[in-house]
Amino acid sequence: MYRNLFFIIVYLLTASFLQAENTEPEFIFTCQPYLQQLSDTEVTIVWGTNKNAVSWVEVAPDDSRNFYATERPKFFDTNFGRKKIGTLHKIRITGLSPATTYRYRIYSKEVTRKAHRDVRYGRIIANNIHKGKPYMFSTLNPDKQNIHFAVVNDIHEDVKRYENLFHAVDSASLDFMLLNGDMVNKMDSVEQMYRGFINTSSQLFAKSLPFYMVRGNHETRGNCSEEYINLFPSPTQQPYYSFTYGPIYFIVLDGGEDKPDSDIEYNDLADFDKYRTEQVEWLKQTVNSEEYKKAAIHIALIHVPPLGKTWHGILEVQSKFIPVLNEADIHLMLCGHIHRHEYYATGESICKFPLLINSNRHILDIRSDSKKININMINERGTVEKQFTFNIKD
C-alpha cells in the first residue's frame, strides 16, 4: 500500500513539473526594434523581450551581397565592459559612414540562470532574414538641405488615432518623426509603453526611421517613469537635449509637471522646480555653442507651452526658459499639452518668435530648407486645415 502511495506521489509530482514546464511562456520579442539618436555616424536600436537576455545587432551595408555572405560585425548591449542582461535592449552602433544605407538584424539570447560562475542560456531569437528582408536604416547626410518631418502629441495611447494621423502625411518621404509629449497617460510599466505607442511606431516606421521624443507631463508620472531615459536615450542622458538635422538645430526642452511640486498628486516625490532651473544652465550653454550659432534655423520643442492657463508649470516655462530663448534667435517653437490648436505670431505673445501649439487631433507636416519652413496642419481624414510659412531672414 505504501509502495503504491509512493509511486502515486512521484507520478503526481512529475506530472505537475511537466505541466509547469509546458506552461512556461515562450521566449519572444515584446517590442519590435525602434531607432533612436540617428546621426551621420551612429544610431541606437532599442527593443524588448519577455525574459532576461543578452542581445546584439549584426550590421551589413546595403550592397548586392547576401546578408549571409560573410560574418557581420556584432554590436552588443554593454556597460563597463560587460554584456548586459535584461529585458530592455539598447544597442549603440558606431563607426558608420554618412549618407549610407545599412541592413541590420537583431538577436536576443535568453539567460535562464545567472550566477557568479554559472550562466546558462536558452533559445536565441532574431528577425527572420531568410524568408523576409533585413531591417534597414540610412545615416544622415550632413549636406542635406531639404528635410521632411512630422509632429504629433497628446495621443494618450490612442493608437488608432496615431495610425490615422501618420497615414495622413506622405510618409514615404519622411526623414523622422517628432513625438511632442503625452503619448501615454502615465508610465506604469515598460510593457504599457510598448502597447501605448512604441510598437505602433515600430510597425509604422521606426524600424527604419527614427523618432525624437519630447517628454510630456504624463510621461513624468507612474511607477515606471524612471525608465524614460532607457527607453528614449539622449546625448545628455536627460529628457532635454539637442540635435541637428540638415539646416535645423533642434532644442528639446522638458517642462516637467504642470502643478506645484507640493501637489498631493505627486506623493511628495516631485522636484521639478530645481530640475527646470538646472535645465536653464544647460540651455544657456547650448544656445551659445558654435554649432548652434552656425545653424541656419533654430526650432525649440517643449510639451508644456509658455502661454495659456496660469498653472505653475506654464509659469515656470515662462520665467525660466523664455528669457533665454528670446535672445537666442529662435525661428519657431512647437508645443502641445492643451489638446487644441493655437498660434501666436512674433509679437503677439511674450515670445519673440512664432509659437505653434498643435492639437491632439492633428499632425504637423513640416518641410524645410535653410530659407523657409512650410507647415501643413492635417486632420485624421487627411484634410489640410491650416498652412503656415516661415521665411528665414539672413
> What domains can be seen in the chain, in order of their start residue?
29-138 (2.60.40.10), 144-391 (3.60.21.10)
CA nearest to 151, candidates 382, 303, 358: 358
Query: pLDDT for 360-379, tens place per residue?
Result: 999 999 999 999 999 999 99
Question: Buried b / exposed e across 102-141, counting CB within 10 Å, b at 16+?
Answer: bbbbbbbbbbeeeeeeeeeeeeebebebeeeebbebbbbe
Query: pLDDT for 252-280, tens place per residue?
Result: 999 999 898 888 888 888 899 999 999 99
Query: pLDDT for 189-220, tens place per residue?
Result: 999 999 999 999 999 999 999 999 999 999 99
Task: Provide the pLDDT for residue 238.
Answer: 97
> If pLDDT is split at 50, 70 and 90, which confidence band does 21 have?
low
pTM, 2 dp: 0.91
